[in-house]
Amino acid sequence: MTKTVICMKWGERYPAHFANRLYNMVRRNVTGDLRFVCFTDDKEGLLPEVEYQPLPPIDLPEKYRWWPWRKISLWQAGLGGLEGEVLFLDVDLIVTGNMDPFWEYHPGKMCIAENWTQKGMGIGNTSVYKWTIGEHTEIFEKYMRDSTPIHAEFRASQQYVSAMIPDKIYWPEEWCVSFKHSLMPKFPMNWFQTPKLPEDTKIVAFTGRPDPDEARDGKWQAPLHKKIYKHVRPTPWIAEHWR
C-alpha cells in the first residue's frame, strides 16, 4: 500500500525548504511506498520527490484569502486525482518518530489531533489529520454555497470542520503535541529551561509563533511589550529532526 501525505503552502511565509524538509522527515519515518504531494502557488525550489499540485480552487472572501480557511478546499470531491486515505500535515510541523501507526489507527475513519487549548470541547486541530478522499465533501460544498453564516459562527476553520464531523477520532495524546502549548515551560521558567521532547512523540506542531527555525535558534518574533513572556531558549533537538 502506498502511503499518501499532503501539505499546503501559499504566500511568502513558508519557502520551499519547509515542504522539502517535511518530505525528508516523513520519508525517514515512513516505511514502504510514499506519495508526497504539496499543493502550492509556488513550486520553485521543491525537491523532485515532492509532487507539485496547484492550490485547489475555492471561493474565499478577500479577508480570509491567506488564512487557514484555504484548507477547506481539501475537502472537495476528486481532490488532485487522489484516492483512498490521505494524511494531511501542516508544512511547518516537525516529525520526530515513526509514522506508520497513523495509517494503522482506525482505518477509514477521520482522525485528528485534539486541539491543545480546547481540550474536551470537541475541537480538532488540523495540523495533522487523516481522512478518505471523497468523504465529508459537504464541508467544502456547504462553504461554497454560502460562507457568510459559517464565518459568523466559527472563528477558525478547524472549528467548522470539527462541527461537521462529530464522530471524528483523536490521535493518541502522546503522538501529536504542540511545541508552544505542550512542550514550552510556563513563564518565567521558559527563560531557564529548554523545551524537552517526550520519547513517544511523533509530531510536534508549531501553531502561530515561534516557527521551527525561531525555536531552534531561541528567537521568538513578538512585539516588544510581549517579549518578557514570549521567550524560548535555543532548542537543539529541533535541528536533529527538522532537516
| Contact of 2 with 33, CB cutoff 8 Å | yes
Residue type, 175: W
The answer for residues whose C-beta is within 8 angstroms of residue 162's C-beta and 6 or more apart is 112, 115, 122, 123, 124, 168
Same domain, 102 and 188: no
Length of the chain: 243
Residue type, 55: L
Q: pLDDT per residue over 134-157, tens digit each?
A: 999 999 999 999 999 999 999 999
| CATH number, residue 156 | 3.90.550.10
Same domain, 166 and 181: no
Q: Pick from 140, 170, 200: which residue ends a domain?
A: 170
Structurally, the chain folds into a number of domains equal to 2
Would you say residue 202 has pLDDT above 90? Answer: yes
Specify the pTM. 0.96
Q: pLDDT per residue over 89-100, tens digit each?
A: 999 999 999 999
Same domain, 187 and 83: no
Same domain, 166 and 234: no
Cross-strand bridge partners of residue 94:
204
Same domain, 156 and 215: no
For range 19-30, the mean pLDDT:
98
Q: How does residue 38 score in pLDDT terms, banded at 50, 70 and 90?
A: very high
The β-bridge relationship of strands 124-132 and 85-89 is antiparallel
Q: What is the mean pLDDT of the chain?
A: 96
Q: State the residue range of the domain holding 213.
A: 176-241
Same domain, 149 and 223: no
Same domain, 135 and 163: yes
Would you say residue 222 has pLDDT above 90? Answer: no
